[in-house]
């Protein structure tokens, strides 16, 4: 009997020692919460907030998909660390304003809808919703999570910085 309980006790102990990724997004965010990339206060931009939850870390919050992806591609540049391939990613569906799994979302790029920091990747829970938005708002492309790359994100951020200097 004791031999059969030992593996269960070891497994239970692992759950106490190994930190788990928070399963649900933080909602609503605290008024003093800031974007982990640009430092902007988030409270005013609730519809745009995205989140990245990594095991053993406080969730990182962002003012949009663009900043979240900048962090995802280079967390050490923003005070984060580690491999984020297993992190839980939350984005808000543009129409429903509900958190959805960012890895399963569809993102419209190049539309006439601007986020808090300029050009933004606009998330949707279905391809059909993304297609409808793209037609209505002159979007250029629909991307899945794995199709977003660092050069695209940095180009979008650079474009925003150039507009700010004018």
pLDDT by residue (tens digit) across 48-106? 999 999 998 899 999 999 999 999 999 999 999 888 999 999 999 999 999 999 999 99
Per-residue pLDDT band for 160 (boundaries 50, 70, 90) equals low
Q: Would 64 be classed as within a structural domain?
A: yes
Cα distance between residue 105 and residue 130, in whole Å: 9
Q: Which range among 7-11, 127-131, 132-136 shows the weakest confidence by mean pLDDT?
A: 7-11
Q: Would 17 be classed as within a structural domain?
A: no
Q: Would 123 be classed as within a structural domain?
A: yes
- Would you say 42 and 33 are in contact if contact means Cβ atoms under 8 Å apart? yes
**Residue with token string 């037609």:** 135
Number of domains in the chain: 1
Residue percentage of the chain with pLDDT more than 70? 83
Residue 44 belongs to what domain range?
22-165
Residue percentage of the chain with pLDDT more than 90? 75
Q: Would 14 be classed as within a structural domain?
A: no
Q: Would 81 be classed as within a structural domain?
A: yes
* Largest separation between any pair of C-alpha atoms in the chain: 75
């Amino acid at each position: 009997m004791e031999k059969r309980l030992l593996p269960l006790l070891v497994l239970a102990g692992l759950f106490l020692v190994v930190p788990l990724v928070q399963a649900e997004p933080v909602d609503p965010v605290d008024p003093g919460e800031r974007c982990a990339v640009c430092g902007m206060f988030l409270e005013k931009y609730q519809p745009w907030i995205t989140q990245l939850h990594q095991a053993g870390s406080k969730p990182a919050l962002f003012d949009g998909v663009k900043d979240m992806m900048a962090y995802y591609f280079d967390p050490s540049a923003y005070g984060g660390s580690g491999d984020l391939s297993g992190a839980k990613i939350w984005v808000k569906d543009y129409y429903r304003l509900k958190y959805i799994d960012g890895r399963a979302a569809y993102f419209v790029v190049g539309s006439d809808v601007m986020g808090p920091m300029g050009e933004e990747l606009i998330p949707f829970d279905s391809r059909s919703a993304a297609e409808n938005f793209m037609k209505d708002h002159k979007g250029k492309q629909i991307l899945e999570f794995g199709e977003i790359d660092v050069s695209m994100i940095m180009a979008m951020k650079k474009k925003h910085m150039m507009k700010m200097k004018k």
